[in-house]
Amino acid sequence: MKGDAYTVVGAGAIGGTLAHALAAAGHPVTVVDADADHVAAIRAGGLTVLRGEERESVRLDAATPEDHQGPPLRRVLLGVKAQATDAAMRWIAPRLAPDGYVVSVQNGFNEELIARYVGAERTVAAFVNIFADVVEPGVVRDGGPGAFVVGEPGGAPVSERVRDLVADLQAWGPAQVSDNVEGYLWAKAAFGAMLSATALADAPMADLIDRHRATMYALAAEVYAAADTVGTRLEPFDAYDAPAFRPDDAAARDAACDRLTAWLRTQPKDRSGIWRDLAVRRRPVEVTTHYEPVVERARRAGLGTPVLSAVLEDLRELERDPSGMSEARLDALDALAASGGRGATAGKDGHDADGRDAAGPPAGTPAVPARTGDRASEDLPAAPVLTDAQAVAVRDWLEGHREAMADDLAAYTSLESSSDDEACLAACLDWLRGWLDTSLGAPASEELLPRDGAGDILIRRYAGTGPSAGAPLLLAAHYDTVWSTGTLRDWPYHREGDRISGPGVFDMKAGLVQAVWALRALRELRLPVPAFTLLLNGDEETGSQASSDVIAAEARRSRAALVFEASADGAVKTTRKGVGLFSLTVRGEEAHAGLDPTRGASAVNEMARQVLALEGIAAPEAGTTVNVGVLHGGTRSNVTAGRAVAHLDIRVATAAERDRVGAALSALAPVDTRTSLRLDGGWNRPVFERTEGVGRLFAVARACAAPLGLDLRETAVGGASDGNFILDAGTPVLDGLGAVGGGAHARSEHVTLSGMVERSALAAGVLAAFAAA
C-alpha cells in the first residue's frame, strides 16, 4: 500500500465508487457501512465496480460501525444518505484525530451539521455528481465520471490539504479544487430538484424532463431564488448549464434544456437513485431531508416554493405506496407551475385565498391522486366510531383486567433501563419483545435496529382488522428512563391502594402498558383495530440523537401518530417547545494573576459578560427561555483563566423565536477583543406548534373521552418529546396519551391505576377511529 489512508463512512453508490478508486490506486482504505450484508460481501470478495460489461474488484478493509476497530480516523469521506448524517457524525466525532477532517461526498447541504460535531476547521466541503448505484451487496455500478469539486467551507481560499485531497481523488476521475463549492451545491440543488420530479413516474429521466419543462423550469427558479438570498454565484457542471436556466432568457433556457436531455440520453443510468429508492429498494428517499435548508432559506426570505414543496410531498406519498407512481403527477405539477403556484393554495370553492380564480389543470389532464398536504383533511378520522355503549364496554373490560395491567407495569418497572446502561436497555428490550408476543401475538414484520452507545430501536408492524386501507398509524414510546442503574435497590416498584410509584412508571412505562392493553381490549371485544407500527426507542431521555432519523422516517410512512408520553394533569399535549442544546467556549490568554495581571485576558471574566448577554436573549413573554445550566473555567486561582465553557438549554415556543434566537447567538461577540468565542451544538428538537392536523386529532380524542365521563383538555408544555420529530416530519401527532400522575424525573414519580384504566379506554377509542377512517 502507498499514500494516505482513507476511511469511507457509507460505502453506497458514491462512497463505494470513491473507495474503489482510492484502493485501486494503492491507498489504504477502510469502508464503514451499516449494511451488514454489504460489508460481508466486501470482506468475502472485495469491493466490485461495474463499468459496462467490465467487472473490477479490489480488496480493502470493511466493517460495520459496531465492529470497527482501528486508530483515530484522519481522512474521512462521508457518503451516507443525508438523513443519516447526524447518526454518522455521532460515530465519527469521537474517533476523529485532532488533525483529521471529514469530507461530505453526499447530496445536499451537510457541512454545517458536520461542523457542529467536529468544528469548521475539520470540515471540508465537496460537490459530487456521480451517477452510480449499488446493484447488489458488494457491487456498485459506475455510470461515468461526472463532476467532483472540493474546497474549504464558506468560500475560504483553497488550502494545501484540499489540493492534496484532490490529487488523490483524481484516481477516480476529473476532481478539481474551487473556492466556490457552495455555487456548485446550489446549482446541483436545482438539477437535483428536476431529477427528484422525474422519480414520480416510471420513465427515463431525459424524457420526463423534456416533456415537463414547465415543472423543471419552475423548480430551478425556486431554488435559484433561495440561492440569491445568500449571494451565491451558480456554477455549471457536466451538461447542466446552471446560469442558462435562469428565467430571464427563454431561448437560452430551452437550448440548455435541449443539451441537458441529450446528454442524459447518453448515460447508462436512465433513472435516478431517488426512483430506485422508491421503486426497487422500497426505502425512504433522502431528498426530503436535504431540501429542507432550501425551503427554509426561501421561507425566511418570504419566498414561496410551491412546486418544490409539491414534489417533496408527492415523494412522501410514494414512500408509503410506490404503486402511485404516475406521469399524471407531473402533469399536475405543470399545471401548478403554469398557475404561478396559486394552485397550491386554492380553496374549496375554486378560488385563491384572496378571491382570484384558481388556475386548474388544462382540459384532458389525467387524474392524479390528491395531495395529502397537511393530511388533516384526508387521512385523519373525523369522529369516533365506537358507540357510547361500546366505549363503556371497553372501559369495563379494562376495569376487569386492572390487576393484570398492574402486574405488567410491575414487571416492566422492575427492569432497570437507564439511558446510559446499554446492557440493561438490551435486557429490558428483550423482555418487551416477549411481552409483546404474549400480549399482541407475532407482528407482520419486525426490525431491530442496533444503536451504538444507546438503546436499540424496535419497530413492529401489525395488520389491522378494520375497513381502512390507508397508511398505518404510528404508536411511539421510549423504554429508557433517567434513573441510574441500582435505583431499584432502595426505591423499588411500590403500590399503595390506587397509587403506584417507582422509577419510570410515569415517564413513561405506564404509557406503553396502557397502549398495549387498549389494543388487547379492542381485539377481545371484536372491535376494529387499525394497521399500526409500534416504535420503541431507548434514548429519548438523552435527546433521541440515535433514533430521531428513524422516528422521522417512520412518521413520514404513517398517516398520524400517537405518543404515549405521560399526560399533564390529565391533559394531552398539543404544543411543545423546541429545544436547543449549545455550548459556548471562551478562549482567553493565561498569565500569572499576581506577577503579570495585565498581560492575561480572562476567559472567565468574558464569560460573565456573555452570560448577561445570553440572559438578554430570553423572551419569557414569547415563551423563550435561556438557561446557563453548567459553567466551568480556569485552572487555578492564581492563573488568569485561559478557557471557560458554558452549557446552555434554550427553549422556544415558535419557529419565529427559534430563528430570532439563532440569529442572536450568531451575533455574540467578545467585549474583550483579546478573547474569542466559539458556539457549538444546535437545535436538539424542533418546535411542536399546534397544527390543523393536531387540532383535529385532539377533537377526535375529546369526543372519544366523553362517553367515559372524561372532560379531556389540551395544553402547551415546555418539555419536548419524540412527538416534536414526528410533527416536524409533516405527520399529525397527539402527544400525552400516557399515564395520569406526576413527579417525572423525581422520587415522587407516580401513576394511578384508575387513571391507567381510563387512559387505556380513551386510547382504544382513538385507535378504533383510525380503523374506520
Strand-pair partners of 625? 651
- The pLDDT value recorded for residue 401 is 97
Question: Strand, helix or coil at 147?
Answer: strand
Higher pLDDT pick, 681 / 361: 681
Contact indicator for 641, 635 with CB cutoff of 8 Å: yes
Nearest to 391 by CA among 137, 693, 701, 616: 701
For the segment 582-612, what is each residue's pLDDT rounded down to a tens digit? 999 999 999 998 888 888 999 999 999 999 9
pLDDT band at 726 (very low <50, low <70, confident <90, very high): very high
Q: Tell me the average pLDDT of the chain.
A: 89
DSSP type of residue 731: -
- Judged against a pLDDT cut of 90, whether residue 230 lies above it is answered with no
For the segment 109-163, what is each residue's pLDDT rounded down to a tens digit? 888 889 888 888 999 999 998 878 888 999 998 877 678 999 998 888 999 999 9
- The pLDDT value recorded for residue 126 is 94
Give the whole-number percent of the chain exceeding pLDDT 70.
Answer: 94
3-10 mean pLDDT: 89
Q: What is the pTM of this model?
A: 0.55
Q: Which domains does the chain carry?
A: 6-179 (3.40.50.720), 190-345 (1.10.1040), 397-576+688-694+715-761 (3.40.630.10), 578-685 (3.30.70.360)
- Judged against a pLDDT cut of 80, whether residue 306 lies above it is answered with yes
For the segment 445-494, what is each residue's pLDDT rounded down to a tens digit? 999 998 888 999 999 999 998 665 568 999 999 999 999 999 999 999 99
For the segment 146-159, what is each residue's pLDDT rounded down to a tens digit? 789 999 988 889 99
DSSP type of residue 546: T
DSSP string across 315-362: HHHHHH-GGG--HHHHHHHHHHHHTTTGGGG--TTSB-TTSPBPP-PP
Among the residue ranges 160-169, 226-235, 426-435, the one predicted with the least confidence is 226-235
Burial call 599-629: b when 16+ CB within 10 Å, e when fewer: ebbbbbbbbbebbebbeebbbeeebbbbebe
Nearest to 75 by CA among 145, 166, 13, 174: 166
Nearest to 560 by CA among 694, 668, 669: 694
Per DSSP, helices labelled H in 633-691 are: 655-666
Higher pLDDT pick, 642 / 467: 642
Contact indicator for 323, 340 with CB cutoff of 8 Å: no
